[in-house]
């Protein structure tokens, strides 16, 4: 039993317990959940095992997924019926279930978001911060190749990227402002601030749309409808800045 206990605890710690088999090379039997519960006594290790089982279950169900909030959220979402505008019931993050981008990105399409790659080395990166997507979106983007060969295209990309980044930062400011107001309204003798909270929510959504409008415009500059799109975007930006 001590040998089994050490073996199973090691596999759980290494996140390799779901498919583990008997340590005897000729035996392919897999330990059952009941067997693991009877061998492993540590509550912390058992909790990790149960999380591993849950992760495996979600991965096996094509209709289930985790909330993609980069700040962290352990909510499991059902894909059916979650179109654009549907938010996580726990953290209110709006995910995209059609591509690997971590949030809904209207009006930019999924194909636009998947084209965020270096033209020279095909390195995938984040439009927002230029850091690589893989393995965990933490290391700085360090490819020296330009996204486009032509100097005008390089300048155009930089312009759209700066606009996109500005709107993302403005969105973060609106979120921070909403959180601050939420704290203030809890204080006694403070009048109702619901209308200010509603305004902050509108700001967050408008900045998000403006940010991804930059992506949409960058990839659709030569289409006939872009004049109308640019006019609508400019109008939205003016109204948003006013708000």
Average pLDDT of each block of 10 consecutive residues along the chain (243 residues)? 82 80 82 86 87 84 79 78 62 76 76 61 60 52 42 74 89 89 72 82 91 86 75 90 90
Position 7 scores a pLDDT of: 84
Structure confidence at residue 136 (pLDDT): 56
Residues 199, 221, single domain; the answer is yes
Do residue 123 and residue 188 come from a single domain?
Answer: yes
Residue 28 sits in the same domain as residue 144:
no
For residues 150 and 166, is the Cβ–Cβ distance under 8 A? no
Does residue 110 sit within a domain? no
- Looking at the fold, whether 11 and 122 belong to one and the same domain comes out as no
Peptide bond into 107 cis (omega under 30): yes
In this prediction, residue 19 carries a pLDDT of 78
Does some domain include residue 160?
Answer: yes
Q: Where are the alpha helices (DSSP H) in the chain?
A: 2-13, 33-39, 43-60, 110-114, 151-184, 194-219, 226-242
Same domain for 123 and 168, yes or no, is yes
56 and 72 together in one domain:
no
Tell me whether residue 111 is in a domain.
no
Residue 109 placed within a domain: no
Whether residue 194 sits in one domain with residue 120 = yes
For the chain, how many structural domains are there in total?
3
Domain match, 67 and 37 both: no
Q: Which pTM was predicted?
A: 0.51
Of the three residues 104, 131, 163, the one that is the final residue of a domain is 104
- Please count the CA atoms within 13 angstroms of the CA of 94 that sit on its side-chain side: 11
3-class state of residue 78 by DSSP: strand
The domain boundary, picked from 47, 78, 104, lies at 104
Token pair of 180 as six digits:
């601050």
Q: Which of 69, 84, 104 is the last residue of a domain?
A: 104
In this structure, the answer to whether residues 147 and 35 fall within a common structural domain is no
**What is the structure's pLDDT at 181?**
85
Q: Is residue 85 part of a domain?
A: yes
Task: Report the 10 Å Cβ neighbour count for 77.
Answer: 22
Both 94 and 166 in a single domain? no
Q: Do 94 and 120 share a domain, yes or no? A: no
Parent domain of 193: 116-242
75 lies in the same domain as 88: yes
The confidence score (pLDDT) of residue 226 equals 77
């Amino acid at each position: 039993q001590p040998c089994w206990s050490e073996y199973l605890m090691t596999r759980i710690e290494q996140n390799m317990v779901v498919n583990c088999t008997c340590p005897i090379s000729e035996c392919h039997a897999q330990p059952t959940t009941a067997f693991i519960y009877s061998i492993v006594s540590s509550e912390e290790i058992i909790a990790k095992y149960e999380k591993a089982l849950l992760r495996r279950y979600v991965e096996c169900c094509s209709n289930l997924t985790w909330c993609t909030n980069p700040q962290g959220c352990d909510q499991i979402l059902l894909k059916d019926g979650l179109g654009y505008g549907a938010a996580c019931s726990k953290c209110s993050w709006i995910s995209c279930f059609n591509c690997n981008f971590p949030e809904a990105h209207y009006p930019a399409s999924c194909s636009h978001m998947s084209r965020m790659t270096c033209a020279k080395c095909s390195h995938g990166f984040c439009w927002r911060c230029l850091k690589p997507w893989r393995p965990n979106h933490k290391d700085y983007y360090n490819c020296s190749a330009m996204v486009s060969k032509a100097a005008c295209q390089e300048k155009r990309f930089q312009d759209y990227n700066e606009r996109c980044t500005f709107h993302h930062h403005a969105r973060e400011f609106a979120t921070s402002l909403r959180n601050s107001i939420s704290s203030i309204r809890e204080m006694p003798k403070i009048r109702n601030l619901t209308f200010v909270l509603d305004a902050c929510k509108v700001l967050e959504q408008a900045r998000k749309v403006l940010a991804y409008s930059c992506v949409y415009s960058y990839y659709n500059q030569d289409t006939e409808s872009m004049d109308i799109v640019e006019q609508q975007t400019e109008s939205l930006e003016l109204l948003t800045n006013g708000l």
